Amino acid sequence: SLLTFHGVDTVIVTGGSTSGCVRATVVEGLSCGYRMVVPEECVADRHESPHFANLYDMAVKYADVLPVGDVVQGLSGMEAR
């Protein structure tokens, strides 16, 4: 409700682990109607295989998985509210 109150429509998710908390946050955010963005260099997992498998799955189904440079560039034109 706090995000809705402030007019937020997009959530950028970073952290670890890609196969756990990051994925769960992305799925939950999408189910609440937010555009979800995952900067690929800003997430991690203990093992490479589940990390890349979950990045792929999120990109196909739930989120925009983008290079961090693209995310920063997209934010550079935004004004603070």
pLDDT tens sequence across 6-47? 999 999 999 999 999 999 999 999 999 999 999 999 999 999
| Fold held by 2-76 | Rossmann fold (3.40.50)
**Residue 53: closest CA among 42, 35, 65:** 65
Bridge partners (DSSP) of residue 16 are: 44
Statement: residue 81 has pLDDT above 80: no
**Torsion of the alpha carbons at 58, 41, 18 and 65, rounded to the nearest 10:** -10
Q: Render pLDDT for 3-17 as a digit per residue (tens, 0 to 9).
A: 999 999 999 999 999
What are the residue ranges spanned by the domains of the chain?
Answer: 2-76
Set 4, 8, 15, 21: catalytic member = 21
- The CA distance from 74 to 68, in Å, is 10
42 is catalytic: no
Q: What is the DSSP letter of 20?
A: I
pLDDT of residue 30: 97
